Amino acid sequence: MPRIRKRKTTRAQCSLNQYEDAYKETKRGTSLRQAAEMHDVNRMSLLRYVRKRDNASTGDNANNSIGMGYVAHNKVFSEQQVYIICCKKLKCSKILFLLLGKYNLVDYYIKINKYFLQLKCFIGILEYFYLVL
């Protein structure tokens, strides 16, 4: 018979409003542990939130909202860089497509440009096909 799993921590059980209230309490001078107990949040999660909020207020991204949870740190490209790369890839594909002929590369052209569906550049590809074919 399987065991009944009982959660041992209170981490990730609170809303963001509770963290904001506890943050304001720490800025008034209350200790971190006392503020965490008063607002019923995990003290280590509150510590992470306070550090995140302080770093965001001093850094370049002061206008961005602060969220809780895992943030991927291993992004290689930003959204703007991905868009630029895909547009350059589209230009190269068009050149290759025009050099080698219209009909034998349609499948290859579509397979190369799968990411344009996500970036809404696929509309330009369809318009190009309607103009060329």
Confirm whether 73 is domain-assigned: no
pLDDT in tens, 18-74: 999 999 999 999 999 999 999 988 899 899 999 988 888 776 555 556 767 666 667
| Share above pLDDT 90 across residues of the chain, in percent, rounded to a whole number | 19
| Share above pLDDT 70 across residues of the chain, in percent, rounded to a whole number | 58
Asked whether residue 90 falls in the same domain as residue 49, the answer is no
- For the chain, the domain total comes to 2
Confirm whether 4 is domain-assigned: no
Confirm whether 38 is domain-assigned: yes
Asked whether residue 88 falls in the same domain as residue 127, the answer is yes
Q: Which pTM was predicted?
A: 0.46
Domain hosting 40: range is: 16-58
pLDDT in tens, 61-76: 555 567 676 666 677 7
3-state SS of 76-128 is CCCHHHHHHHHHHHHHHHHHHHHHHCCCCCHHHHHHHCCCHHHHCCHHHHHHH
Confirm whether 24 is domain-assigned: yes
Quote the pLDDT of residue 133.
47
